[in-house]
Amino acid sequence: MIVGFDYGSSNCAVGTMNGQDVSMLELEAGRAYLPSTLYAQHNSLVVDFVANQLANTPDDKAYRQARVGMLNSIQAVRKDLDLQSGETGIQIGSAAIDEYIDFPEEGYFVKSPKSFFGAIGLKPQQIAFFEDIATAMIMQIKQRAERQLGKAITHTVIGRPVNFQAIGGEQSNQQAIDILTTAAKRAGFKEVEFLFEPLAAGIDYESRLTRDQKVLVVDIGGGTSDCSFVQMGPSYRERTDREQDFLSHTGKRLGGNDLDIAMAYHNFMPLCGLGSTLKSGLPMPNQLYWQACKINDLHLQTEFYGQSNRRELHAMLRDVNEPEKLARLLKIQQNKLGHQVVRQGELCKIALSSDKDYLAQLNFVESGLNTMVTQAQLQDAVSDSLKQICTLAKDAISSAQAQPDVIYLTGGSAQSPLLKSALQQSLGDIPMLNGDNFGSVTAGLTKWASKIFS
């Protein structure tokens, strides 16, 4: 069976064709969108899960040999965690978020793993572990989809950003594609193809056009922002080779997660001492607070949660003018609360797209701790990111050497009035349309998969 698979930075979704329409499959508790999160009580349990799923498959022996070190420790880990037979010790989606909130300091939690796949400088063992995370997630999602369909899924088109990272170029992109391909094959897909996510969104839009248009697709995903300038319409949509219709692509690793991080950094970190001073009169180092919030940067998170950083924060308590604020940052570090802090930034961003202010609740850091955030503060926090997105759009238009008839907005942050206003000021009075902010990419991937595999 053929599906479109959006392995997104914020959410995952799977679609199938139902006649001429796309049906979204239920991936958890009545919902088609599964948060791109994984929680494991111990990181070796991810390897254990994959190894068990690969038993008696062609990949079984080679995988076990490659992971023999971690697999040798599994029995002791399971005994220490008191896991019963059949318990995997890992969760994905909303269940992973719930586990993390209940036990933030005890396990391994990752949000938006795709954001890390193209990171430069990854060691072979880190690449292998990201392969395992992706494999474990894709395996579970595929199994849920197959149970709903009652059929085996064999062919898929997976969405990909134009660029997985801001730096690294094609080497980063290829590394990320290799990780996803390995994971999808281990999960049981026989044929795997990839399609740019903004193009997938554009294909969904194109199916409804009655006349040809030049369309600038602006896709603001969780981890990346991508722009594709595409010729679309009745004259183009039946083609199986669309390369000549894609006039330009631009993209970078800057998405909704970065807006959430910016909100958390600018509005919550002052409560933890950002902007305050040491007793010497020197300002507090900004890097500590950036590390705390930058949940999509593996290197910075490793530094922040390291033992040496904990000792440094303890030592600094004697040297700061407002130790009660720094104590909050130490609480975040000790209990691995960075994801929860950034989640409050995300809730602020969502609420302030329509409301004038929002009371952010940070009582998981300190009882009764909260702060009011306004639309003006949201605009200040995300202004630099919006400028970068506008630059991507302008570059796509410049590279295409044509003016778009319409701008088609999709992605979780595409509904932001601030984004629309920024694009209008930067690009002029070009008509803008909003697609299904979460479903357009999945629908386009599904339609493309049906076209190339049928």
Query: Is pLDDT larger for residue 230 or for residue 241?
Result: 230
Residue 181 belongs to some domain of the structure: yes
- 158 domain residue, yes or no: yes
Model confidence band, residue 81 (pLDDT cutoffs 50, 70, 90): very high
Q: Is 143 within the bounds of a domain?
A: yes
The verdict on residue 128 lying in a domain is yes
Range(s) of the domain holding residue 24:
2-197
> What value does the mean pLDDT take over residues 278-307?
91
pTM score: 0.83
Whether the predicted pLDDT of 288 surpasses 70: yes
The answer to whether residue 79 sits within a structural domain is: yes
Q: Which residue has the higher pLDDT, 142 or 122?
A: 142
- Within 10 angstroms of residue 67's Cβ, the number of other Cβ atoms is 21
Asked if residue 302 is part of any domain, the answer here is: no
Residue 366 in domain: no
Q: Which of 125, 88, 132 is nearest to 110 (CA)?
A: 132
What domain count does the chain have?
1
Residue-wise pLDDT tens digits, 171-204: 999 999 999 999 999 999 999 999 988 888 888 8
Q: What is the CATH number of the domain that holds 81?
A: 3.30.420.40
75 found inside a domain: yes
In tens, the pLDDT along 342-368 reads 999 999 999 998 899 999 999 999 999
Q: What is the pLDDT of residues 294-303, one digit of tens each?
A: 988 878 888 9
